[in-house]
Amino acid sequence: MDTILVINAGSSSLKFELFASVGVLRRLVKGKMDGIGTAPHLAIKSAGGDRLADETYPHETVPDLPAAMRLVGQWLRERHEGEMVAVGHRVVHGGPDHTHPVRVDQNILRELEGFTPLAPLHQPNNLAPIRALLEHQPHLAQIACFDTAFHRGHDPMTDHYAIPAHYFAEGVRRYGFHGLSYEYVAGRLAEIAPDIGRGRVIVAHLGSGASLCALKDGKSIESTFGFTALDGLPMGTRCGQIDPGVLLYLLQGGMTAAELQDLLYKESGLKGLSGISNDVRDLLASEAPGAALALDHFVHRIGLNAGALAAALGGLDAFVFTAGVGENSPVMRERISRKLAWLGATLDPARNAAGELLISTDQSKVALYCVPTDEELMIARHTFALLAP
Ligand code: ADP
């Protein structure tokens, strides 16, 4: 049996899924190694949800991503016969030119390494497993699937910053991220409600990273993310949109670039505002004023940005919630939906509480949906498609 491995490598975790790729794609296992380098823990489940592994390791056994890859590879070889014909990787940054996934060789890898300054916390981790596999299994097909690719069809005018135009050619432009999630949701919407899928839609990917994407006829025309995954909405620990004057103020006050990077990526967003947690669940459960401030600000910024994207679309037919917060929190969906009332959106409380796909009333002028995303399946599909003769 031919299989495709999907890898989503982060700073301290390695998510992976194995798909059988015989004729159609079928998910076999889903796993995650977290606490890499500190308290490594491997959890693997079957597609049906049965627990297949639940192991902890001494930190020196799994000090880094390549070590985690080796361990996961060993588990897969022992437990799964069949031949792994390709590995699909989530890569956050594909730069200005990659409009589609690509098979990675040493030249492409070098090109992708060049985008590291644009995604300093994500890109090195995304590329580490690719590098390790290229070294040890040079003939294994590896496909890089980019979070930026889905947004490459934007009108270039929209992706400019209003700084001297030559910076655009140098690559200082708005890229947009979460593209694999948006591509998957756009595809689902085309199945669930084809007319709406051809219309003007905002998708809200609200997880530990958060952004909105404006879809027209299933294609991205705008997004709240920009040059890096710091822009747009406030996130778990990232600041979102900020006046560049604040950055000048901090730098001129003596902060180093490295300290500023840490502040903006790791200490800001819901965590920075609340002083409590980056996790919406903790904030919802807390009585502390900081928790209320952080959540109010998050909802406020989503409302403002939804207005901006509705303007880009020239109106709105549907608003779709997805990712950790969007899929799991009826309370947050309700709070955000209230910000969309002026556009004509009316939530149906019972449908929302039940987490149905359509959560607006039948009379609502703007349809509201809750659509679980599946970035891993999207990566598997791309990888499968690129392998086809
Ligand atoms: P990522 O893949 O970006 O790490 P997810 O899309 O899995 O993130 O989202 C993770 C976030 O989703 C958590 O940090 C948490 O804030 C939020 N989340 C998950 N479940 C719930 C829930 N039941 N209620 C509110 N927020 C939730």
Report how far residue 242's alpha carbon sits from residue 234's, in angstroms, rounded to the nearest whole number: 9
**C-beta atoms surrounding 43 within 10 Å:** 15
Q: Whose CA is nearest to atom 19 of ligand 1?
A: 324
Domains of the chain: 2-146 (3.30.420.40), 194-375 (3.30.420.40)
- Averaged pLDDT for residues 21-29: 92
Ligand 1 atom index nearest CA of 236: 14
Measured in Å, residue 236 CA sits from the centre of ligand 1 at 9
For residue 115, name the pLDDT band (cuts at 50, 70, 90): very high
Which tokens hold the place of 89?
């990787």
**d(CA 96, ligand 1 centre) in Å:** 30
Q: Over range 54-78, report the average pLDDT.
A: 91
Residue of 328, 352, 376 best suited for mutating to test ligand 1, as the one with most atoms within 8 Å of CB: 328
Q: Are 332 and 340 in contact (CB under 8 A)?
A: no
Q: Which atom of ligand 1 is nearest to the CA of 332?
A: 25
Pairing of strands 102-103, 210-216: unpaired
Asked whether the predicted pLDDT for residue 389 surpasses 90, the reply is: no
Q: Measure the CA–CA gap between 380 and 377, rounded to whole angstroms.
A: 5
**Ligand 1 centre distance from Cα of residue 23 (Å):** 33
Q: Which of 2, 105, 147, 217 is catalytic?
A: 147
Is residue 142 within 8 A of residue 87, CB to CB? The reply is: yes
d(CA 188, CA 126): 26
Asked whether the beta carbons of 22 and 2 are under 8 A apart, the reply is yes
Q: What is the pLDDT of residues 189-222, one digit of tens each?
A: 999 999 999 999 999 999 999 999 999 999 999 9
pTM of the model: 0.95
pLDDT at residue 80, rounded to an integer: 81
> Ligand 1: distance of its center to the CA of 265 in Å?
17
Residue ID of nearest Cα to ligand 1 atom 12:
324
The residue whose CB lies within 8 Å of the most ligand 1 atoms, and thus the one to mutate among 281, 335, 375, is 281
Tell me whether residue 122 is annotated as binding: no
Which residues, judged by CB distance below 6 Å to any ligand atom, belong to the binding site of ligand 1? 207-209, 236, 279-281, 323-325, 328-329
Helix, coil or strand: residue 229: coil
- Contact in structure between 301 and 234 (CB atoms under 8 Å): yes
The residue type at 56: T
Report CA-CA distances (Å) from 335 to 210, 284, 318.
16, 12, 16
159: confidence class by pLDDT, cuts 50, 70, 90: very high
From 180, 208, 286, 378, mutation site for ligand 1 pocket: most ligand atoms within 8 A of C-beta: 208
Q: Is 209 annotated as a binding residue?
A: yes
Per-residue confidence (pLDDT) for residue 336, from 0 to 100:
98
Residue 358 DSSP symbol: B
Gap from CA of 279 to ligand 1 centroid (Å) = 7
**∠ at Cα 259 (255, 264), nearest 5°?**
110
Please tell me whether residue 213 adopts helix, strand or coil conformation.
strand
Judge contact between 3 and 141, C-beta under 8 A.
Answer: no
pLDDT digits (tens, 9 = 90+) for 260-308: 999 999 999 999 999 999 999 999 999 999 999 999 999 999 999 999 9
268 annotated as belonging to a binding site for a ligand: no
Measured in Å, residue 10 CA sits from the centre of ligand 1 at 16
Give the Cβ contact number of residue 156 at 10 Å.
Answer: 11
* pLDDT score for 286: 97
User: What is the residue with the minimal CA distance to atom 23 of ligand 1?
Assistant: 328
**How far apart are alpha carbons 177 and 174 in whole angstroms?**
10
Confidence of residue 310 (pLDDT cuts 50, 70, 90): very high
Considering the chain, what percentage of its residues have pLDDT values greater than 70? 100
| Confidence band of 99 (pLDDT split at 50, 70, 90) | very high
Length of the chain: 389
Catalytic residue list contains 159? no
Taking 90 as the threshold, does the pLDDT of residue 181 lie above it? yes
Q: Which residues contact 1 (CB under 8 A, 6 or more apart)?
A: 20, 22, 81, 82, 83
Distance CA 365, CA 130 (A): 46
CA distance 222 to 312: 7
Nearest to 299 by CA among 276, 321, 315: 321
